[in-house]
Amino acid sequence: MKYYSTNHKVSDVSLEEAVIKGLAPDKGLYMPKQIKPLPKEFFDNIEEMSFQEISYHVADAFFGEDIPAEDLREIVYDTLSFDAPVVKVKKNIYSLELFHGPTLAFKDVGGRFMARLLGYFLKKRGNREVNVLVATSGDTGSAVANGFLGVEGIKVYVLYPKGKVSEIQEKQFTTLGQNITALEVEGCFDDCQALVKAAFMDEELNEKMHLTSANSINIARFLPQAFYYFYAYAQLKRMGITKDIVMCVPSGNFGNVTAGIFGKHMGLPIKRFIAANNANGIFYEYLKTGVYSPRASVCTIANAMDVGAPSNFARIMDLYKEEHSAICNDIGGATYKNDEIAESVKTLWNEEGYLLDPHGACAYRALCEQLKDEETGVFLETAHPAKFKETIEDIIESPVAIPEKLQEFMKGKKETVLISKEFDSLKSLLLSQIE
Ligand SMILES: *Cc1c(COP(=O)(O)O)cnc(C)c1O
């Protein structure tokens, strides 16, 4: 299958090129030429299939022409070494728990898949080294770093703002060693992202080394996020729920929700989506007004969604041919301030004993407010609440237990390279790494 750029200024590329490049040369995002519907038999039997089997069928629709079945199956099965259960939270509302992976956030799915797919292509090409640059406000860095740990031919540089990620998050990408280097930037998240962009623009750097991005613009990180929407439906079907399903997704860069929308275009019977924002309600305003006005983000307690210019908005616009009314038909919105997020965490904890993280809380709240009686709502619980221990403990006023997987990371020793927010600092460091 060929991939085109949302800016339509460059020619189509192969999957391999789209994955290795990340961003198209005209700065657009790559989109598959086709979104193939899955056959009726697939949906008829979906409840009998495992997470891995379902995901293989979804992956095959996108990648089947480009990767031999055996290899693709191995990549998918190896990526999904954990479950994504749908859990009933209260009447009509279910949580799709996406925090059972190695770094306890949904980004494990895209991060692990991309690492394996990139590794596969590099092996096929014969070991030209690729350098993955990733800017993180917390969760992306850990998922990408752990996904790529030990993958041959790939070096990963995680750029993060010094002092602005939680200790738990920091430990997940600064203690790994091997092919992972953590760059502690004296600046904020926007500075990190600007540094990564500057690196992709720098001619000398790109001549001397092969750089790629592992942010959700990369098709290999983005598309696999469709897998668990299908699996969620399979689980609902097992419970006898097959219609009026609303999926609510805590959204920042909109990669996750857009992957779900791709699922709907492949025939997944989801009635509509809701993209739940924190105070950075840029998409919400777009739905209300038809005007998209990106701006600098504000800091919130759901920090992985502190995004002022959601990168995957370009994919949504492309998919719906920029038709505002068509977008509003399929996607609703919501935006919540910190005190509303906190209130939802606290209330659900007190009433049902289910502990939300600040991101999932936005989505849960949107369902409480917008779900109709005949509908069933599923919100995506995108990270384990213990990843935001201090915030959650302040809200519920009792201790949050740290799962064993997270405790393991806490034992490691932090190792970072400190750089300034000036590009020269990053550039000289990268150049010094060439062997
Ligand atoms: C990254 C992240 C999000 C936002 O996902 P997008 O795909 O960028 O919209 C939501 N919740 C958590 C916990 C995250 O880490």
Task: Give the active site residue among 9, 88, 107, 321.
Answer: 107
Q: Is 62 within the bounds of a domain?
A: no
Beta carbons of 112 and 101 less than 8 angstroms apart: yes
What is the whole-number distance in angstroms between the Cα of residue 407 and the centre of ligand 1? 22
Does residue 356 carry a pLDDT above 80? yes
Q: Is residue 61 part of a domain?
A: no
Residue 345 within any structural domain of the chain = yes
How much is the pTM? 0.94
CA of 73 to the centre of ligand 1 (A): 26
Report the C-alpha gap between 182 and 206 in whole angstroms.
Answer: 20
Tell me whether residue 377 is in a domain.
yes
- What's the CATH code of the domain at 325? 3.40.50.1100
**Is 413 a domain residue?**
no
Q: How far is the CA of 385 from the centre of ligand 1 (A)?
A: 14
- In this prediction, residue 127 carries a pLDDT of 63
For residue range 297-346, what is the model confidence (pLDDT) as tens digits? 898 999 889 999 999 999 999 999 999 999 999 999 999 999 999 999 99
Count of domains in the chain? 1
- Measured from the Cα of 359, ligand 1's closest atom is 11
What number does the ligand 1 atom closest to the CA of 256 have? 7
Ligand 1 lining (C-beta closer than 6 Å): 105, 107, 139, 216, 250-256, 304-305, 359, 382-383
Does residue 337 carry a catalytic annotation? no
Predicted local confidence at residue 106, as pLDDT: 96
Query: Does 88 reside within a domain?
Result: yes
Is 85 within a domain?
A: yes
Residue 332 lies inside a defined structural domain of this protein: yes
Q: What is the CA radius of gyration of the chain?
A: 20
Contact 367, 90 (CB under 8 A): no
The reported pLDDT for the residue numbered 20 is 87
* Predicted pLDDT of residue 124: 86
- List the domain range (segments joined by +) for residue 312: 81-104+224-400
- 215 pLDDT band, cuts 50/70/90, is confident
Indicate the average pLDDT of the chain: 95
Ligand 1 centroid, distance to 310 Cα (angstroms): 11
Query: Vertex 90, ends 52 and 224: CA angle to 5°?
Result: 25
pLDDT of residue 153: 87
Q: Which atom of ligand 1 is nearest to the CA of 254?
A: 9
